[in-house]
Amino acid sequence: MAASSLLRSLTGRGCAGPTAFSRYYRHLQYPFSTAAAAGAQGEAGWGFPGLGPTAKGEKARVVVLGTGWAGSRLMKDLDTGGYDVVCVAPRNHMVFTPLLASTCVGTLEFRSVAEPLARIQPAVSKSPGSHFFLARCTGVDPDAHTIDCETVTDGQKDALEPWKFKVAYDKLVFACGAEASTFGIHGVADNAVFLREVHHAQEIRRRLLLNLMLSEVPGMPALLICIMHAVPSAESSRTVRGLGKGFSGRPYPRLCNAGRPRLEPGTCWLQAANEILSSFDVRLRQYAAKQLVKSGVRLVRGIVKDVQPNKLILDDGEEVPYGVLVWSTGVGASSFVKSLPFPKSPGGRIGVDEWLRVPSVQDVYAIGDCSGFLESTGKEVLPALAQVAERQGKYLAQLLNRVMKAGGGHATSAAEVDVGPPFVYKHLGSMATVGRYKALVDLRQSKVR
Ligand X SMILES: Cc1cc2nc3c(=O)[nH]c(=O)nc-3n(C[C@H](O)[C@H](O)[C@H](O)COP(=O)(O)OP(=O)(O)OC[C@H]3O[C@@H](n4cnc5c(N)ncnc54)[C@H](O)[C@@H]3O)c2cc1C
Of the pair 188, 370, the CB lying nearest ligand X is at 370
Q: Which of 409-439 are b and which e, b meaning 16 or more Cβ less than 10 Å from the residue's Cβ?
A: bbbebbeebebeeebebebeebbbbbbeeee
User: Shortest Cβ contact with ligand X: which residue?
Assistant: 68
397 binds ligand X (CB under 6 A): no
The answer to whether 233 and 227 are in contact (CB under 8 A) is yes
91 binds ligand X (CB under 6 A): yes
CA distance 117 to 121: 6
Of the pair 99, 255, the CB lying nearest ligand X is at 99
198 Cβ contact partners less than 8 Å away, ≥ 6 residues apart: 93, 95, 100, 103, 110, 113, 114
> Restricting to residues 225-254, which ones interact with ligand X according to CB under 6 A?
232
Q: How far is the CB of 371 from ligand X (least distance, A)?
A: 8
| Three-state secondary structure call for residue 398 | helix
90 binds ligand X (CB under 6 A): yes
382 binds ligand X (CB under 6 A): no
CA distance 127 to 355: 29
Count of residues of this chain found to bind ligand X when the rule CB under 6 A is applied: 32
Q: How far is the CB of 92 from ligand X (least distance, A)?
A: 9
Q: How far is the CB of 200 from ligand X (least distance, A)?
A: 8
CA distance 194 to 325: 9
Residue 426 DSSP label: B
Q: How far is the CB of 73 from ligand X (least distance, A)?
A: 8
Neighbours of 228 (CB within 10 A): 24
Omega of the bond leading into 341 within 30 degrees of 0 (cis):
no
> Restricting to residues 166-195, which ones interact with ligand X according to CB under 6 A?
175-177, 195
> Restricting to residues 274-333, which ones interact with ligand X according to CB under 6 A?
none
Of the pair 54, 328, the CB lying nearest ligand X is at 328
Q: How far is the CB of 107 from ligand X (least distance, A)?
A: 14
290 Cβ contact partners less than 8 Å away, ≥ 6 residues apart: none
Q: Which of 71, 116, 129, 409 binds ligand X (CB under 6 A)?
A: 71
389 binds ligand X (CB under 6 A): yes
Q: How far is the CB of 64 from ligand X (least distance, A)?
A: 9
340 binds ligand X (CB under 6 A): no
98 binds ligand X (CB under 6 A): yes
The answer to whether 40 and 50 are in contact (CB under 8 A) is yes
Neighbours of 98 (CB within 10 A): 24
Binding pattern for the stretch 351-380 against ligand X, x by CB under 6 A and - elsewhere: -----------------xxx----------
Of the pair 68, 323, the CB lying nearest ligand X is at 68
Of the pair 337, 404, the CB lying nearest ligand X is at 337
**Angle (CA) 393 399 404, round 5°:** 125
Pinpoint the alpha helices (H) of 223-311.
231-244, 282-294
Q: Which of 50, 52, 66, 435 binds ligand X (CB under 6 A)?
A: 66
CA distances from 441 to 230, 277, 444 (A): 16, 12, 9
> What residues does 179 pair with on adjacent strands?
332
* Choices 95-103, 255-263, 319-327, 345-353 (CB under 6 A): range interacting with ligand X: 95-103
> What residues does 306 pair with on adjacent strands?
186, 313
Q: Which residues bind ligand X (CB under 6 A)?
A: 65-71, 88-91, 97-98, 100-101, 136-137, 175-177, 195-196, 232, 336, 368-370, 384-387, 389
